[in-house]
Amino acid sequence: MTTNPSPHQPRRIGRRGFLAGGLGLLAAAGGGSAWALDRYVLDHVEVSGASQLAAQNVVAAEPDGTGTATAAGYSSDTAKISIETVTTGSGDDRVTYFVADVRVTDATIVKSAFAEDQFGENIIAYPSEIAASANAVLAINGDYYGFRDTGIVIRNGVKFRDKGARQGLALYADGSMKLYDETATSADELISDGVWNTLSFGPGLVDDGTVISGIDRIEVDTNFGNHSVQGQQPRTGIGLVGNNHLLFVVADGRSSGYSRGVTMPEFARIFADRGARTAYNLDGGGSSAMIFRGGLVNNPLGKGRERGTSDILYVAG
């Protein structure tokens, strides 16, 4: 496994960074275009100190600080992590992806963290920065909840948003994981049922150990600035093999000769072939990132640079 140090660049860039320039010009032109600048670029902080809020509501297992890290993984009393780099094909058909096999003794050490420790729209930071502030051993980018104002957002046992809109993923405090219809339930019901975290992007990739059919035709959102999630793309996803046994997978892409990216069915097959009973697609493209012990594991877009995002999913250390 190779790691690339995170670059030191201004924070407010990101996968939707082009909006800041394009929408700024629209706003300057006057008329009704100013709404776009306000909606997609300007910060809207709804909750500050989000991690402290979570800590007041849920008592999680405390890491013992005795973990040891190597190039291949990490082991402590609460978590065992191994990371594998996989390369298939050659030339323009080459694919490179990274699989973190994660086993924990307590599902609540798999947590979420927000950029700037604030919940709201358009608040971003590099995944490595968010991971460092959370003392994460391993992290992947999350669902970029901050680019939309819909979805059910429960993080570390706390409700932050309750506007069901799409297929979501629920991670339970007992170590299980389920795909669910956000429009058929509520955040309060999910928390009552033991949900610890939710993710709202999609689509679901694997259910009951089987690759879900039709995932190569799904559009996730119709938000301004969003593109299709289909085709050969960089991708991030999470899967569950069994209770407290997870897979974090990041596939690089859009880089000729290094990694072309993967289609949605190809991504699903990576999880199914490794025994995942459930798997879910997260935000991808240039946002796809895996961070291990402070280092960037993958090579986003073949450029070795992270993009800003609103949240991460991580294993506490």
- At residue 227, the pLDDT reads 56
Cis check: omega of the bond before 234, within 30 degrees of 0: no
Residue 252: predicted pLDDT: 97
**Identity (one letter) of the amino acid at 77?**
D
Q: What are the residue ranges in the chain where pLDDT is below 50?
A: 1-29, 35-37, 39-40, 55-71
Phi and psi angles of residue 264, each rounded to the nearest 5 degrees, phi first: -60, -45
pLDDT at site 190: 98
- Confidence (pLDDT) at 273: 97
pLDDT at residue 49, rounded to an integer: 72
Give the DSSP H or E segment for 227. none
> What's the burial of 214, exposed, middle or buried (CB within 10 Å: 0-12/13-18/19+)?
exposed
Residues 6+ apart with CB under 8 A from 214: none
> Given this model, what pLDDT does residue 317 score?
75
